[in-house]
Structure 1
Amino acid sequence: MKKALVKAVTVSLLWAPLAARAGDKECDYKRDWMSSACERVMRVVHDGTWDLYVTGYGWHIDGYSNRSELNPWSWGGGAGKHWTDANGNEDILFAFAFSDSHHNFEPIGGYARQWFTNPVMGGLQAGGGFFVGFTARADVAHYLPLPLALPIGSIRYRRASIMATFIPRLPGLNDGNVAFFWGRYEF
């Protein structure tokens, strides 16, 4: 576990120069979609509000012959920031770490975009969208950062949300599908 933490901190330090470059508010790229993406991220960085994340459960749905040996309790936590647009939809930057299916440290971080329904019953909303980012696992290339692009869904009541993603089976990488759940509190 200590080796994993050292590797995660090392990777984070290597990303620091890129984060410093992103902090200068320059989003002038030759492609409009890149400029738009940069502007969304910078808006979260500079104008967003803070979030607290608490991870909790990984449901190993099917394909696992050793399901009883796997860790469903994915305890961990982290922080992030979100910015809400005029329609109530969100851009989110996040980073958290948790105990994976094999009880190993797993960091994850990235950008998410969610669209929400109109509030009902005093503030209850459903949301859906995607996130893109990176994770690193002990059992996959010894903590080499791996890119991710996954769907997300959430149920939000005022400032508290229960969020989830679906991780599909990838031959050679994992044995089955996983639904991963975590909570978020918006400050």
Structure 2
Amino acid sequence: MKKILVKAVTVSMLCAPLAAHASDKECDYKRDWMSSACERVMRVWHEGTWDLYLTGYGWHINGYEDPSHLNANSWGGGAGKHWTDANGNQDILFAFAFLDSHKNVQPIAGYARQWYTTPVLGGLSLGGGYFAGFTARSDIAHYLPLPIALPIGSVRYRRVSAMATFIPRIPGINKGDVAFFWGRYEF
């Protein structure tokens, strides 16, 4: 487990300077959608505000023979950055690690896009969107990075958000559906 954390920190330290020195020319792709995606990521990296993530719960919904043997307390944490547009919606870069269903460390990192409702009651809003990135698990190809894309939803009050995603059952990979919950604080 310590080796995995050391590897994750090392990769982060090596990738951070590369992103920090990226220029607009590096987002000059022949396809407009690729240039737009690159520009969004670079804007978050350069102009974004820091976030703190705390993970906490993985609900094993159905399909598992005995979910009581699985770890629901997915404790962990991490950091990220977000950039808020004129409509209050956010582009997010994140990286965190948590204990998976078998109490092994599972890192995850990527990009998210969240659209929010207009705040009511002094700052309460609902959000929805997606995230795409990479994760790695000890029980799937012994920590080989795996691409993922999942929906996300959130309830936000000013700078604090309760966030969630739904991980569907994938034959041959997992035995049932999981709802995963975490929190975010925007600095």
TM-score, length of structure 2 as denominator length? 0.94
CA contact (8 A) 1:92 1:113 kept: yes
Q: Percent identity?
A: 75
Provide the C-alpha distance between the structure 1 equivalents of 2:89 and 2:42, rounded to a whole number of angstroms: 16
Residues 142-161 of structure 1 mapped to structure 2, 5 A cutoff? 142-161=142-161
**1:33-90 deviation per Cα after TM superposition (whole angstroms, max 9, x unaligned):** 0000000001000100000000000000000002010000000000000000000000
**What 5-or-longer segments of structure 1 have no aligned partner?**
none
CA contact (8 A) 2:20 2:46 kept: no
Aligned to 1:135: 135
- The answer for the alignment partner of 2:171 in structure 1 is 171
Q: Distance in 1 between matches of 2:16 and 2:58?
A: 31
Is contact 1:89-1:114 (8 Å) kept?
Answer: yes
Relative distance call for 1:6 and 1:50 in structure 2 (3 A) is: closer
**How many pairs does the alignment contain?**
185
* 1:24 CA displacement: 1.6
What is aligned with 2:96?
Answer: 96
- What SS does the corresponding residue of 1:152 show, helix, strand or coil? strand
- CA distance in 2: counterparts of 1:47 and 1:88, whole angstroms: 15
Counterpart Cα distance in 2 of 1:79 and 1:132: 16
1:20 maps to 2:12: no
Shift of 1:2: 2.5
Coordinate RMSD, CA, aligned = 1.6
**Residue type matched to 1:119 in 2?**
P
Mapped to 1, the partners of 2:90 and 2:105 lie a distance apart of: 28
Superposition misfits of 4+ residues, deviation over 4 angstroms: none
What residue number does 2:30 align with? Answer: 30
Contact 1:7 1:143 in 2 (8 A): no
